[in-house]
């Protein structure tokens, strides 16, 4: 089999575009191949299976997270990770499944760990913060999806919605912010 | 249409058994109806749609969480919630989707909130802790599933696996345990 005229980078570009259009459940290798006007087998030249391709997509989603910086504010880093996940449809689920299989680059954890570097257990706290952010973002995206198809009401008039407060309280606690007050 | 000879409770029983057997992606209303030897329309006598039925399943999964108790140890309550989610295949995803749509009973959040009652912001912290537990349990179940189908290696010989340490560090921080040391 000859290598595809598409490189890894352009396949991931296409997968990310399709993810936004059709969502994760409908993002098949066949669909990506059709979009690129190649046979599915051409994709396997670059990626042994779909999970490895999705790991490339996950890395691209998290590329917006800043480089590790020990002087960074942990709250800002956490919001950068959250924003990256929310930028693409089903972004949290793509990154969650990649992390579950320990594929992809731990860019988010490294940035969180660096920002928490003053704490002795910054590595495990960074992993815990990442798991919290993934849970939070998955819940938000599932709710947004349900709203987009009209399955639930908009949150606009719902006073019980305090999602931002929950996120900031969680990150503050995990980052030890205010802990000695 | 006559009411089904099955009541709500027995339909949820059946759905929970099927969940363990086939997993969430294959748990359709049709499949539950076939298992109960009724027409799918009979299920809609009790549940207006699948999400409401799944909310009943989520409540059953979380029934193992103890009643709210302000003298309970937050770490024990958190482990009880985690254990409940891990008891059934895809339990974390069923509860996550139910919580995203704000269906189901907030039994876990109430138990966590009561145990965190000494903290002024115990309600938002309890929600944050629940989101963290959902993220953690989803990652664990996705990894266990990948291992069960042979997609990834077992963790037995992997020294980088420190899942329990991450969980306990996360809950300690969210519960303010050790924060004033």
CB contact under 8 A, B131 and A135: yes
Q: 3-state secondary structure string, A69-97?
A: CCCCCHHHHHHHHHHHHHHCCCHHHHHHH
**ipTM value:** 0.92
Neighbours of B79 (CB within 10 A): 16
Residues of chain B contacting residue A135, judged by C-beta atoms under 8 Å apart: 96, 131-136, 138
Q: Quick one: pLDDT band at residue B181, thresholds 50, 70, 90?
A: very low
Query: Could you say which of B132, B151, B179 has the minimum Cβ distance to residue A135?
Result: B132
Rounded to 5°, the CA angle B58-A133-B159 comes to 95
Which of A51, A124, A158, A181 best tests the B interface by mutation, with the highest count of B CBs <10 A? A124
Q: Quick one: pLDDT band at residue B180, thresholds 50, 70, 90?
A: very low
Quote the mean pLDDT of chain B: 91
Domain ranges of chain B: 1-47, 67-174
pLDDT of residue A154: 73
Q: Using the predicted structure, report yes or no on whether residue B1 has a pLDDT greater than 70.
A: no
Q: Using the predicted structure, report yes or no on whether residue A1 has a pLDDT greater than 60.
A: no
Q: Using the predicted structure, report yes or no on whether residue A170 has a pLDDT greater than 80.
A: yes
pLDDT in tens, B12-43: 999 999 999 999 999 999 999 999 999 999 99
CB contact under 8 A, B131 and A128: no
pLDDT in tens, B151-169: 777 766 564 567 999 999 9
CA-CA-CA-CA torsion for B66, B68, B71, B76, nearest 10 degrees? 40
Look at residue A50 and give its three-state secondary structure: helix
| Domain A1-47 CATH superfamily | Homeodomain-like (1.10.10.60)
Min distance B176 CA to chain A CA atoms (Å): 7
pLDDT in tens, B166-178: 999 999 999 998 6
Query: Could you say which of A100, A142, A179 has the minimum Cβ distance to residue B100?
Result: A142
Spatial neighbors of A86 by CB under 8 A, at least 6 apart, are A92, A137, A140, A141
* pTM of the predicted structure, to 2 decimals: 0.93
Q: Using the predicted structure, report yes or no on whether residue B67 has a pLDDT greater than 80.
A: yes
């Amino acid at each position: 089999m000859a290598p595809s005229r598409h490189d890894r980078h352009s396949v991931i570009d296409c997968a990310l575009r399709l993810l936004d259009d059709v969502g994760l459940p409908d993002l098949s290798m066949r669909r990506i191949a059709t979009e690129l006007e190649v046979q599915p087998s051409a994709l396997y030249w670059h990626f042994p299976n779909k999970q490895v391709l999705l790991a490339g997509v996950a890395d691209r989603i998290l590329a917006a997270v800043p480089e590790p910086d020990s002087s960074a504010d942990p709250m800002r880093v956490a919001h950068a990770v959250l924003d990256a996940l929310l930028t693409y449809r089903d972004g949290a689920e793509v990154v969650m499944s990649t992390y579950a299989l320990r594929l992809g680059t731990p860019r988010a954890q490294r940035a969180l760990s660096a920002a928490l570097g003053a704490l002795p257990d910054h590595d495990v706290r960074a992993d815990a913060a990442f798991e919290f952010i993934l849970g939070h973002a998955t819940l938000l995206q599932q709710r947004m999806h349900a709203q987009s198809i009209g399955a639930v009401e908009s949150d606009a008039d719902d006073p019980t919605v305090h999602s931002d407060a929950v996120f900031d309280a969680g990150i503050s606690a995990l980052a030890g912010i205010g802990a000695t007050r």
